Amino acid sequence: MGNYFKLLCFLFLTQPYFLLAQEPILEQHKPGQKWQAENRGNITYVFPSAHSQTLKRSFLVLDSLKSSIYTGIGHKPRHIRLIYNNQTMVSNGFVTFFPWRSEIQTPPSQDFSLSGNAPWLNMVSIHEYRHVVQLDAINKGFNKFLYVLFGDQVLAGIRTISIPDWFTEGDAVFIETMLTPGGRGRLPAFYQPWLLNLKELGDKYYEKQYLGSYKHNIPNHYVFGYLMSAYLYSNYDYETVGSTMVNSGTNWFFPFSYGLALKKKTGKNLYQNYEEMSSYYKSLIPEENAVEGLVFKNNIKRYTNYDYPKYYNNGILSVRNGIGDISQVVFTRNDKTRKVKTAGLIYQNNQTSLAGDKLAWVEYLPGRRWQKVTNTQVRILDIESGRTKRIMKREGVTNFLFSNTRDRSLTLHYFHDQGQVLKVHDLQKEKVLFEIESDLDQQWISPFWVNENRIGFFEQNGNQYVLVIINITNGFRKELNVGNGTPGPAQSYKGHIFFSYPIDNIDHIIAINRANGEIRQITNAGHGNYFPYIEDGQMIYNVLTAAGRNVAQKNVNNLDQFPVIELTPIKPFGLNDFDSQLQQKNSFTESDRKNETKNKSPGALMPFAWGVEVLNDDLDMSIGLRARDALMRYSVTGGYRISSDLDERGWFSRFSYQSLPVILDFEYENLQRNLDRTIEGSTVNFNWNEEIISAGLRLPLNFTSGKYFNNFLLGASFNQAIIENYNQDIRFLDQLSNGTFQFTDLTLRFSHILKTSHRDFLPRWGFQVNAGNRISLDDDDFSASQVYGWGDIFLPGFFKHHSFKLRGSGYWQQLTGESLYIFSNRVPLVRGYSNRLFGNYGMFSLEYSLPLWYPDIKIGPFIYFKRFRGSIYYDRGKGVNNENNFVMNQESYGGIIKTDLNIMRLRRDIVIGVDINYRPDTKNVSYNLVLNTFVF
């Protein structure tokens, strides 16, 4: 067991850092962007020059709260760069060791299960800086020694195997909730799905709730992590919970180090704490009345949402998605549901807009070249024909709504140099009728039409949400206080504004009278009610169930039948005594404005790996250094490497500059080669010196604009190898002797792949192709030429989540001429056959794959089985050598059984299986291990 765990530790410490022959494509910012840097204590804030005033306000907030963010862990982290990216429409953030930096994506979220009642920049900055504290806190003791030897990469590996992801994310959500008036711990839409699962499925066991499932929909580890963290903080003091994490990280070489540390600190092991946490939250789940008259049948094993329902043509339009479904617009009438259109990458604003036969929503639109430049577009569907058109492409649209007369639209935009802007468009004349820009301290969500002359939205001003109604003809503004809860998307009806709002830890639909602010509670059953849509006095809306968000209806013609209520302040969910928790947290608010750092540039070369590391999947080892600049514009790698079979050793260096549309790659190697080969039963030693110089270009492009992911890569390189001190008079065709070998290498890759659901392990539709040409230059000492290509076509199988894969591959290569050299193979071959030398080769494969079983079973804490899947295949190929009229037909068939599993309670999935292959020509059955490790 001890040796096994040491091997596992080695794999996790090295696996994420495998190198290919080329440096990976970095997630670059758009070149030419102007950056500024501001140094405050142990943080350098790196931010774009445009719109810097808003960003600097968040810097001040984070500075004032840094000591509170250290709470419990009690560690002041080393210097880090916080990079603020305003060129994207994705609302997120992250911290990475590669290199040591954090990135904050500045657009405020429109998702009411994420945004909360706090300025977005404050909340996400606090969350990510808590990660900085967590990750750097383990850099002490023996870990510090390893860091000095190997760099940040070893800390990343230690964190992975010792600290569960639920703690790092849940603890950060807890801190963001405690230190702001918002935070996800105050959002029922965030935590209620997990509580409902707990009620319907029971507590099951820790592994399922943390590691997930393909059988049932399990909310992600952020939700589980917050609820677990809130429970721990409620029952133990801050130092106990924080030091448990630190002790786990510093004792990572013990299996299950977090559970051991928790047992030492609390007297209860991880399972005991989980079971008590589950019992505690079960006691908090209210006995709500069931919602009657649900439109769709509930099946907890087929978790499906029917979001944003709307009345249409005596039926219901909704967006279907779930554990086994990608997002599709569907139409339901007379208990029959049909697909209307598959949506693209839907932007999470929780809104669609219906006008006559047109349905509109907002989608993400990735940048063509720069991965950090993601924008949006509006897609309009003609429901009857099924055709769509795209408008407002790359205009920063976050919300789009038709007016009742269908000739106007209301849009909310986020511009990197302005912030949020509301616009009313005349769709026929294509001009802007009204425009208003938010102030620096405001944040707007969920705009809506009140009537043809008035628009509304919710404004977050730092402490609470305000319902704002504006007359677009005269600019008159009216405000109605809502509270510190987060409202959902709204609709106006009969002088009232309908929207969801937290009441007793459950989102219910309420209606606020826009004349006097009186509030009536419209729904009082279920565990969450969202997205009201009203037509002729009938309201249709979503109801949260354990089987997904279903659809219900209610008559709202007579609003007097619904009770008038007063909204109460929203507190974080799950805390036994919030006031004492807050007092404990405030005891850590010492000033941290001392020790200003020296000025640092916005982007600088930052080493993140040195010492010994694994270079590739052949387990070659190197002693050297790897570095990238903070803005991910270029990377440098260099050192001394030794191959696993000791036949190569020498110096190498790589440089990749990626801040141009075309990536520039340079590589230099000076190697000593030594290998033994068998000739006529005798072993012959070959050795020589090899100097390799390579210069290349790569052009990666992303053409994704809808439901298919479209990626393109074109590459070209010049390569030169100089061979000296070759010790034999003979050579094999796949190795070089004394002389110079120069060749060009052209590659082309393209993929067109339909997006997948959680249960899909292959796409239902799509294809991918890879092709290339390698050829030596004229008048070279060696002669070589090869053209190759292969591709896959994916088609749906007979049942859901079944898939056909058709594969074809082939190559042509030169087999005659003086000083002939043979390039290595780059295409898939017929399974069961070794790689043989042919002048022409082609193969075809047909494979059918299907899921077999979703067991959700575990063997102690060691292995958790999530899924078994299988496939059967038939391969056929033919190799020809025209020089000697040699022809070889190849044929095989077989089956593969794989399982998706987690080991040692680690969240990264491992796919492992066995390939049983049969060759009819030899009647030979072979068994081969299939290992696709660490699926993220």
CB within 8 A of 731, min separation 6: which ones? 686, 737
**469 pLDDT higher than 50:** yes
Determine the Cα angle at 923 with ends 920 and 927, to 5°. Answer: 100
The answer to whether residue 653 sits within a structural domain is yes
pLDDT tens-place string over residues 481-508: 999 999 999 999 999 999 999 999 999 9
pLDDT given for residue 15 in this prediction: 40
**125 pLDDT higher than 60:** yes
The CA–CA distances, whole Å, from 352 to 401, 447, 495, 666 equal 7, 12, 22, 48
Task: Tell me what the pLDDT averaged over the chain comes to.
Answer: 89
Q: Of all residues in the chain, what percent carry a pLDDT higher than 90?
A: 71
Which residues on neighbouring strands pair with residue 694, listed in sequence order?
A: 667, 719
Q: What is the pLDDT confidence band of residue 286, given thresholds at 50, 70 and 90? A: confident
pLDDT given for residue 17 in this prediction: 36
Largest separation between any pair of C-alpha atoms in the chain: 101
pLDDT given for residue 596 in this prediction: 47
Query: Mind spelling out the 3-state secondary structure of 323-345?
Result: CCEEEEEEEEECCEEEEEEECCC
The answer to whether residue 551 sits within a structural domain is no
pLDDT tens-place string over residues 827-842: 999 999 988 889 999 9
Q: Pick the residue with more confidence: 457 or 4?
A: 457
pLDDT tens-place string over residues 409-441: 999 999 877 789 999 999 988 899 999 999 877
**109 pLDDT higher than 50:** yes
The answer to whether residue 792 sits within a structural domain is yes
The answer to whether residue 806 sits within a structural domain is yes
Which residues on neighbouring strands pair with residue 611, listed in sequence order?
A: 624
Residue with tokens 């190198």: 19
Quick one: tokens of 701? 């492009």
Residue with tokens 């990976």: 24
- Report which residue type is found at 775: I
Q: Pick the residue with more confidence: 9 or 683?
A: 683
Q: Of all residues in the chain, what percent carry a pLDDT higher than 70?
A: 92
**818 pLDDT higher than 90:** no
The answer to whether residue 259 sits within a structural domain is no
pLDDT given for residue 14 in this prediction: 40
Query: Mind spelling out the 3-state secondary structure of 412-447?
Result: EEEECCCEEEEEEEECCCCEEEEEEECCCCCEEEEE
CB within 8 A of 277, min separation 6: which ones? 227, 228, 231, 232
Q: What is the pLDDT confidence band of residue 69, given thresholds at 50, 70 and 90? A: very high
Contact 849, 815 (CB under 8 A): no
Contact 429, 446 (CB under 8 A): no
For the chain, how many structural domains are there in total? 1
**401 pLDDT higher than 50:** yes
Determine the Cα angle at 161 with ends 160 and 167, to 5°. Answer: 65
Give me the sign of the Cα torsion angle 162, 165, 170, 175: positive
pLDDT given for residue 53 in this prediction: 75
Residue numbers of the domain that contains 722: 623-828
Q: Read off the pLDDT of each residue in 74-81 and give the average, rounded to a whole number.
A: 93
The CA–CA distances, whole Å, from 102 to 93, 98, 596, 630 equal 7, 10, 19, 9
3-state secondary structure (DSSP) of residue 581: helix
Q: What is the pLDDT confidence band of residue 123, given thresholds at 50, 70 and 90? A: very high
pLDDT tens-place string over residues 565-594: 999 999 899 887 655 555 555 544 444 444
In angstroms, the CA 82 to CA 44 distance is: 6
Total residue count of the chain as it appears in this document: 936
pLDDT tens-place string over residues 832-876: 998 888 999 999 999 999 999 999 999 999 999 999 999 999 999
The answer to whether residue 434 sits within a structural domain is no
Contact 267, 259 (CB under 8 A): no
Q: Pick the residue with more confidence: 442 or 52?
A: 442
The answer to whether residue 280 sits within a structural domain is no
Whether residue 309 is preceded by a cis peptide bond, meaning omega within 30 degrees of 0, is: no
pLDDT given for residue 785 in this prediction: 94
Q: Read off the pLDDT of each residue in 181-194 and give the average, rounded to a whole number.
A: 93
Residue 802's CB is within 10 A of a number of other CB atoms, namely 17
Q: What is the pLDDT confidence band of residue 595, given thresholds at 50, 70 and 90? A: very low
